[in-house]
Amino acid sequence: MSGEHAWLAYRAMTRDRSVAQRSVGRVVVRRILGYARPYRALVWVFLATLVAASLLSVAQPLLFRRIIDQGISKGDARVVTITALLVALIAVADAGLGLVGRWYSSRIGEGLIFDLRTQVYDHVQRQSIAFFMRAQTGALIARLNSDVIGAQQAFTSTLGGVIGNLISLVIVLTTMMLLSWQVTLVSLLLVPVFLLPARWMGRRLQALTREQMQLNAEMSTQMSERFNVAGALLVKLFGRPADEAALFGGRAGRVRDIGIRMAMANRWFFTALTLVASLATAVAYGLGGNLVVSGVISLGTLLALVALLAQLYGPLTALSNVRVDVMTALVSFERVFEVLDLPTMVQQAPDATPVPDGPLDVRFDHVRFRYPLASEVSLASLESVAREESQQSAADVIRDVTFAVPPGTLTAIVGPSGAGKTTLSALVTRLYDVTEGSIRIGGQDVREVTLASLQEAVGVVTQDAHLFHDTIRANLRYARPEASDAELMQACRAAQIGDFISGLPNGLDTVVGDRGYRLSGGEKQRLALARLLLKAPRVLILDEATAHLDSESEAAVQRALDDALVGRTSIVIAHRLSTIRKADQILVMVDGQIAERGTHEELLEREGTYADLYRTQFSVEPAAR
């Protein structure tokens, strides 16, 4: 049995047969064919190369028969020479067809991977932030990698394998039956001798493969969680390097042991293949030799039959598991479609218009909001631990909130943790959409303006600013890719970090590290603020931007904020009340509602929640303020 046919048999036998129990509807099949439509011309050429290759593979044994029966046996050197040249030409043609077929197969497969990957990536990027809060990053990456590649194989390995094997089997069997039906039937009787042990070994390999994949996934998860800065810091602070090494070593040891067992199982499998092929060859020579002696068939016919026999078992075995091959590919497509069919909660209206020019106000009108249920924003298969959650409507976290932020003014929002402060800022930027009521910017409902213009008009700095593992220049230009170095440094100086960057050996080319961990908290915040200033939004939202900074860093960031807020419509979510004393209005949030509103002095005089927060934070007696 040839190496290629042996591999086809091995792959067919070791595929996970559980997928054959799955059901894939006609809609999915039609959708798959839609993806193939741009490549239909390439697919037809690819299939034509498979037919031609199958015909050539049968032609060679028949030419060997001619050399022996009509050339060597009859002493005709001319026939021998011409036929040998034909065999050589067929070998060259077969090699050429293999290269051509491989090119077309790769062109189709890589084209499909590109189409699916870019479509899935774009769709995922457009999901609401609630989706990313639930979905496991590794599961998403798997959809973009393994599942997309599995779907691609439907048009290359599976399509080519099934049709190629079918064509090859029909041609080989027909040719063998025409040459000698006796040898052909006896050869087919040996198929169960191979199939039954192979199926048992295949199930064994499937179980080992699944266990190995699970352990590899666990090791990958451990590495991804421990090899980032935050994870490594936690391990060191709690003194657990030895425990982590032992845990990883245990998993790696089990993978090693499974690898040894799989290697032996593979060896047994291919040994069985070789043994059955040898037995079939022995039977063919035994029976066929007797037929040659008795004059039923010629010697050339016998050699042709033996050569054809080597091309019989691989395709026959692979086709015995064709449903598993096809369903494996279709299920991969189905998993990709599962992501593509997940609706995007925050969508741009078809008739959306840009945010108006000029200064902007922000207005909340009787806003209510509840966080979406898991079934509304995510897929159980994309969560690391999928649990059935209550389908009852979640409680409102924002309840009947109404307020206005006039153009160029500063509104501060304060309150205890969990009061809904950050949720309000997320609603302005349409990370979520309101459940009831409306939010207007420049007089227009945010759901009626284009997302691009809203994102351009509104800028946000959070308490944990994210930086990519790249240079300072690349992180800054994320806000405005066309910005010059001079503009970058101007924004940095405005954010009170220009001198720091100028003093670095590599300046703007300094790599900030994973999530910016090579910078201090204050430096990260000021760099994030510089990025925001480079964007130059007309509405600025600061979500506790100085909450976790030391006094010196807070003072530097606060100076930068004072300059950044000038002339901009600003909403500041504050933990430290000292930073918002000059706000034009202060809103006190309690349990999703505005409990108090007014200036700093007015709220202190009311002796309400704000006054309690102020006294708690500064330990000030009521009479001493």
Read off the pLDDT of residues 134-169 as tens digits, 9 standing for 90 and up. Answer: 776 766 777 777 777 777 766 666 767 777 788 888
The answer to whether residue 392 is domain-embedded is no
pLDDT tens digits for 404-417? 999 989 999 998 88
**Is residue 428 located within the same domain as residue 280?**
no
Query: Which stretch of DSSP H or E encloses residue 283?
Result: helix 241-293
**Is residue 270 located within the same domain as residue 139?**
yes
Answer with the residue of higher pLDDT: 114 or 140.
114
The answer to whether residue 224 is domain-embedded is yes
**Is residue 321 located within the same domain as residue 423?**
no
Half-sphere exposure of 407 toward its Cβ, with a 13 Å CA cutoff?
10
**Is residue 69 located within the same domain as residue 183?**
yes
Using an 8 Å Cβ cutoff, are 123 and 339 in contact?
Answer: yes
C-alpha torsion sign, points 95, 97, 103, 108: negative
**Is residue 314 located within the same domain as residue 412?**
no
The last residue of one of the domains, among 321, 340, 359, is 340
Domain count for the chain, please give it: 2
**Is residue 415 located within the same domain as residue 297?**
no
**Is residue 420 located within the same domain as residue 333?**
no
Q: Compute and round to an integer the Cα radius of gyration of the chain.
A: 35
Answer with the residue of higher pLDDT: 320 or 427.
427
What is the model's pLDDT at position 13?
52
- Whether residue 587 is predicted with pLDDT greater than 90 in this model: the reply is yes
Rounded CA separation 54/169 (Å)? 9
What is the model's pLDDT at position 391?
46
The answer to whether residue 363 is domain-embedded is no
CATH number of domain containing 583: 3.40.50.300
**Is residue 44 located within the same domain as residue 140?**
yes
Query: Would you place residue 463 in the very low, low, confident or very high pLDDT band (cuts 50, 70, 90)?
Result: confident
Classify the phi-psi angles of 350: left when phi > 0, otherwise alpha if psi is within -120 to 50, otherwise beta. alpha
The answer to whether residue 176 is domain-embedded is yes
**Token digits of residue 233:** 């810091």
**Is residue 35 located within the same domain as residue 164?**
yes
The last residue of one of the domains, among 288, 307, 340, is 340
pLDDT tens digits for 235-282? 877 788 888 889 888 888 888 888 888 788 777 777 776 777 778 888
355 burial via Cβ count (<10 Å: 0-12, 13-18, 19+) = buried
Average of per-residue pLDDT across 301-321: 79
C-alpha torsion sign, points 490, 496, 498, 501: negative
**Token digits of residue 578:** 């000292």
Average of per-residue pLDDT across 360-388: 76
The answer to whether residue 303 is domain-embedded is yes
Average of per-residue pLDDT across 356-367: 92
The answer to whether residue 250 is domain-embedded is yes
Least confident of 11-15, 54-58, 217-221: 11-15
Query: Would you place residue 25 in the very low, low, confident or very high pLDDT band (cuts 50, 70, 90)?
Result: low
267: containing domain: 3-340
Query: Is the overall model pTM greater than 0.85, yes or no?
Result: no
Strand partners, 362: 405, 441
The answer to whether residue 371 is domain-embedded is no
**Is residue 293 located within the same domain as residue 418?**
no
**Is residue 545 located within the same domain as residue 413?**
yes
The last residue of one of the domains, among 284, 311, 340, is 340
H-only helix segments in 294-401: 299-309, 313-319, 322-340, 374-377
The answer to whether residue 11 is domain-embedded is yes
Answer with the residue of higher pLDDT: 156 or 599.
599
**Is residue 267 located within the same domain as residue 413?**
no
What is the model's pLDDT at position 386?
47
CATH number of domain containing 54: 1.20.1560.10
